[in-house]
């Protein structure tokens, strides 16, 4: 058993912090939480006294990452990577990225698609204790229509991208696609029903048919897994939710009626503010960017704040997902999403709630809240994130426990936590 004591404890539920807190863990679970003054020290418990002014809080959760990609700042970067790197090499690199992500305080991530389904194997290696990394939920390959989003159009017939995506067509094809990914070991299904501009001026476009989306969602739900959908917005997004998608990613353009429907159905919104910021900044700084690309970047920047304000007001479940791997470095950049939620009008406590408890609900894991019975995935932060949210991205202030076990120690000269 371990008894943690800290000046402040944020439990992830959105409740006000407990001052002068103590938390008892037994193995991988939390047993009790309260004020240190009311806590005896159980026989044999290891006492972990944190530095003065330190904060205990749940490990962070990023529900949208791509551990297979490097975060190269270039819209074609991921395409080039899949053309030039063997999938086994990608998996080795992903192991490093997973460790970095954990060391920056993210104890769980949902990976949103990886060539060759490599992140399923990474997940298994971490779960088996072979590698250090966050808890991972992985979909294997994303399902997309032939030539659709992520199906690597534009390389010509001479290039083939085996197992880059699962290209499916028709309801039967998508049903089979779902079955294949689940057979491979996927935790959930990634769909690409609705995309941004590729060939014309529209901000969003339906890429899958409603029948295809419904077939994929029905099969996934029948097998007890969720469906996460890459979306852009508008009526195609509304249709994707109606057809059964459980989480909608990016989703810049959403009207109030759709947000209300999401509240009713319990659909999660993953606004991916960080990748939007990084990609728009990149595009708008490129003198050679096409008018269409610029227009999309500008329009999506405006839309994302408006949509977030309305989603918060209407009570939509918003989870923090950065899209690290695209334009964003693993580890260092994941926490930017939390800062941007604050910039978008969430209080720091609310933004932490999005990046802990809501993320855990989306991933269907028993983490994200410091409450009795939950997994002891937690951070000791040297300082108070409620005073300055940016300290969450300072690795030198973080000590990370995953399942009650010391996983990463802060880089400062002295670490109070003992392994
Ligand atoms: Zn993504």
CA of 66 to the centre of ligand 1 (A): 6
CA of 113 to the centre of ligand 1 (A): 7
CA of 185 to the centre of ligand 1 (A): 20
CA of 55 to the centre of ligand 1 (A): 31
CA of 414 to the centre of ligand 1 (A): 37
The C-alpha angle 145, 150, 156, rounded to 5 degrees, equals 90
DSSP result, 333-350: TTTHHHHHHHHTT--HHH
Q: How many CB atoms lie within 10 A of CB 132?
A: 17
Every domain range in the chain assigned CATH 2.30.40.10? 2-58+369-418
Two tokens, residue 388: 């300055």
Distance CA 322, CA 49 (A): 32
Closest CA to 318 of 233, 247, 253: 247
Predicted local distance difference test score (pLDDT) of residue 414: 46
CA of 9 to the centre of ligand 1 (A): 32
Two tokens, residue 205: 């476009």
**Strand ranges for 50-165 from DSSP E:** 55-58, 60-65, 106-111, 135-137, 143-145
Angle subtended by helix axes 118-127 and 87-103, to nearest 10: 50
Distance CA 218, CA 224 (A): 10
DSSP 395: G
Predicted local distance difference test score (pLDDT) of residue 156: 66
Predicted local distance difference test score (pLDDT) of residue 397: 95
Predicted local distance difference test score (pLDDT) of residue 293: 84
Inter-residue contact 64 to 323 (CB < 8 Å)? yes
CA of 190 to the centre of ligand 1 (A): 10
CA of 158 to the centre of ligand 1 (A): 26
Residue whose token pair is 């319990």:
266
Predicted local distance difference test score (pLDDT) of residue 415: 45
Distance CA 266, CA 51 (A): 40
CA of 144 to the centre of ligand 1 (A): 13
CA of 408 to the centre of ligand 1 (A): 26
| Residue pLDDT, tens place only, 353-370 | 999 999 999 999 999 999
Closest CA to 105 of 298, 328, 390: 390
DSSP 357: I
Predicted local distance difference test score (pLDDT) of residue 155: 66
**Strand ranges for 365-412 from DSSP E:** 378-381, 398-402, 405-408
CA of 357 to the centre of ligand 1 (A): 21
Produce one character per residue of 238-265: b if its CB has 16 or more CB atoms within 10 Å, e if not: bbbbebbbbbbbbbbbbeeebbebbeee
The C-alpha angle 323, 225, 31, rounded to 5 degrees, equals 80
CA of 148 to the centre of ligand 1 (A): 15
Every domain range in the chain assigned CATH 3.20.20.140? 60-363
Two tokens, residue 9: 């404890």
CA of 65 to the centre of ligand 1 (A): 6
Max CA-CA distance within the chain?
A: 70
Architecture in CATH of 60-363: Alpha-Beta Barrel (3.20)
> What does residue 35 show for φ and ψ, rounded to 5 degrees?
-85, 140
Q: Are strands 29-35 and 46-49 parallel, antiparallel or unpaired?
A: unpaired
Two tokens, residue 260: 């209300």
CA of 279 to the centre of ligand 1 (A): 12
Residue 47 CB partners (closer than 8 Å, separation 6+): 2, 3, 5, 41
Predicted local distance difference test score (pLDDT) of residue 418: 42
Closest CA to 324 of 379, 260, 278: 278
Residue 83 CB partners (closer than 8 Å, separation 6+): 155, 159, 161
Predicted local distance difference test score (pLDDT) of residue 292: 84
CA of 276 to the centre of ligand 1 (A): 11
CA of 10 to the centre of ligand 1 (A): 29
CA of 265 to the centre of ligand 1 (A): 23
Angle subtended by helix axes 336-343 and 273-284, to nearest 10: 90
Distance CA 88, CA 117 (A): 11
CA of 315 to the centre of ligand 1 (A): 24
CA of 329 to the centre of ligand 1 (A): 13
pTM: 0.95
| Residue pLDDT, tens place only, 302-312 | 899 999 999 99
CA of 193 to the centre of ligand 1 (A): 13
Phi-psi region of 150 (alpha: psi -120 to 50; beta: other; left: phi over 0): left
Two tokens, residue 402: 């995953």
CA of 325 to the centre of ligand 1 (A): 8
Low-confidence residues in the chain, pLDDT < 70: 75-76, 78, 152-160, 197-199, 411-419
CA of 64 to the centre of ligand 1 (A): 6
CA of 360 to the centre of ligand 1 (A): 18
Predicted local distance difference test score (pLDDT) of residue 200: 72
CA of 356 to the centre of ligand 1 (A): 19
CA of 313 to the centre of ligand 1 (A): 25
Architecture in CATH of 2-58+369-418: Roll (2.30)
């Amino acid at each position: 058993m371990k008894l943690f004591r800290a000046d402040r404890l944020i439990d992830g539920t959105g409740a006000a912090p407990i001052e002068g807190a103590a938390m008892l863990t037994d193995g991988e679970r939390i047993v009790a939480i309260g004020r240190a003054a009311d806590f005896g020290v159980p026989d044999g418990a290891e006492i972990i006294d944190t530095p003065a002014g330190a904060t205990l809080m749940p490990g962070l959760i990023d529900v949208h990452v791509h551990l297979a990609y490097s975060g190269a700042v270039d819209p074609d970067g991921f395409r080039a990577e899949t053309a030039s790197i063997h999938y086994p090499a990608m998996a080795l690199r992903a192991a490093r990225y997973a460790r970095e992500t954990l060391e920056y305080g993210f104890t769980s991530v949902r990976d949103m698609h990886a060539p060759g389904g490599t992140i399923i194997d990474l997940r298994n290696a971490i779960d088996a204790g072979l590698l250090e990394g966050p808890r991972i939920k992985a979909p294997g390959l994303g399902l997309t229509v032939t030539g659709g989003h992520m199906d690597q159009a534009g390389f010509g017939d001479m290039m083939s991208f085996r197992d880059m995506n699962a290209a499916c067509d028709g309801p039967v094809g998508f049903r089979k696609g779902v079955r294949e990914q689940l057979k491979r070991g996927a935790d959930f299904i990634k769909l690409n029903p609705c995309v941004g501009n590729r060939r014309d001026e529209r901000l969003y476009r339906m890429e899958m048919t409603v029948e295809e989306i419904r077939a994929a969602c029905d099969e996934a739900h029948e097998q007890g897994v969720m469906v996460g959908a890459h979306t852009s917005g508008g009526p195609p997004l509304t249709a994707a939710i109606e057809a059964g998608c459980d989480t909608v990613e990016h989703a810049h353009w959403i009207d109030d009626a759709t947000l209300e429907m999401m509240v009713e159905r319990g659909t999660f919104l993953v606004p991916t503010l960080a990748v939007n910021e990084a990609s728009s900044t990149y595009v708008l700084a490129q003198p050679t960017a096409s008018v269409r690309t610029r227009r999309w970047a500008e329009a999506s920047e405006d839309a994302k704040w408006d949509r977030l304000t309305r989603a918060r007001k209407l009570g939509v479940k918003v989870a923090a997902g950065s899209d690290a791997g695209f334009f964003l470095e693993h580890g260092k950049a994941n926490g930017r999403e939390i800062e941007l939620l604050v910039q978008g009008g969430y209080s720091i406590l609310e933004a932490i709630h999005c990046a802990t408890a809501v993320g855990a609900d989306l991933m269907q894991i028993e983490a994200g809240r410091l409450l009795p019975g939950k997994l002891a995935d937690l951070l000791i932060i040297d300082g108070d994130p409620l005073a300055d949210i940016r300290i969450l991205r300072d690795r030198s202030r973080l000590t990370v426990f995953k399942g009650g076990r010391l996983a990463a120690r802060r880089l400062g000269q002295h670490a109070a936590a003992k392994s």
